[in-house]
Structure 1
Amino acid sequence: MATTEINKPNGPVAAALLAGGIGSAVLGLATISVEASAAIKTALNWYNPVGSLMGKSSLGIIAFFLSWVILNTIWKGKETNFSRIAAIALVLVAVGLIFTFPPVWHLLLGGE
């Protein structure tokens, strides 16, 4: 019995992966920006009981969905360099995670 191999383009998967990295990086950058600037902290306070956490997390979610829609539209039905996109996404996720740790804020912002 012969097997049939179905080749599907990896563009939509690459778009979702990279969008996740972008959303993570935006969350990290928003987190460190809130620590660096009282004005940004106030601007991202969208709901008082939660504080700036709602604005930070919402920015990350918005960045994810917007970049996913845009990248999926561009890469739909196309084959991409998946290993390169995965590496970029991994770096973006690392940036996002690093910028959420208080010791990094203190190191970069000269705090305690």
Structure 2
Amino acid sequence: MTISQKPVVGQSQSVEKIPEIIPNGPGAAAILAAGIGSAAIGILALAGDASKAINGLLTFYKPSGALSGVTTVAIIIWLVAWFILARRWGNKTVAMSRVNVGAFALLLIGLLLTFPPFMDFLQGK
């Protein structure tokens, strides 16, 4: 929070300090969108590994297999989430602690779902 100094009407000597709140919505939108994108990579990687039909849908480039679609779709999800959240929170101040906890939880989901032993455990391999 920054403090602006504005003179009080009628008194040229004294200065009243008025807090100026800078919105943190755009930054919070970027942080939460990053978590959403991370979770999307994990969910899509698990789905592509577990289902041959989804694997086929996510294969955009044969030499790299489903990984090409997983990363492309996850990037699209991240950008769309960032755009929507930035538009909604553009001039707002949001609770950063909640945003950070949510983004960190989504990041952990993304990391767990891309960890091969955990993926195999979920698929019963």
Counterpart code for 2:24: N
TM-score, scaled to structure 1: 0.92
Partner of 2:46: 32
Higher relative contact order (CA 8 A, sep 6+): 1
Hey, what does 1:96 align to over in structure 2?
Answer: 110
The CA distance in 1 between the partners of 2:65 and 2:20, in whole Å, is 49
Looking at structure 2, the residues matched to 105 and 97 of structure 1 have their Cα atoms a distance apart, in angstroms, of 10
User: Any gaps of 5 or more consecutive residues in structure 1?
Assistant: none
User: Which residue in 1 is equivalent to 2:96?
Assistant: 82
Between the two proteins, the alignment pairs up a number of residues equal to: 109
State the 1:6 CA deviation: 5.5
1:71 aligned residue: 85
| Amino-acid identity (%) | 40
Code of the residue aligned with 2:81 in structure 1: it is S
Residue 7 of structure 1 deviates from its aligned partner by 3.3
Tell me which stretches of 4 or more aligned residues in structure 1 moved more than 3 Å: 3-7
Separation in 2, partners of 1:85, 1:59? 23
Do structure 1's residue 16 and structure 2's residue 25 form an aligned pair?
no
RMSD over aligned Cα, in angstroms?
1.3
Give the structure-2-normalised TM-score. Answer: 0.83
Give the number of the structure whose alpha-carbon radius of gyration is greater. Answer: 2
Residue 53 of structure 2 aligns with an amino acid whose one-letter code is: A
The answer to whether the aligner puts 1:60 opposite 2:92 as a matched pair is no
Query: Which protein has the bigger strand share?
Result: 2
Q: How far apart are residue 23 of structure 1 and its match?
A: 0.3
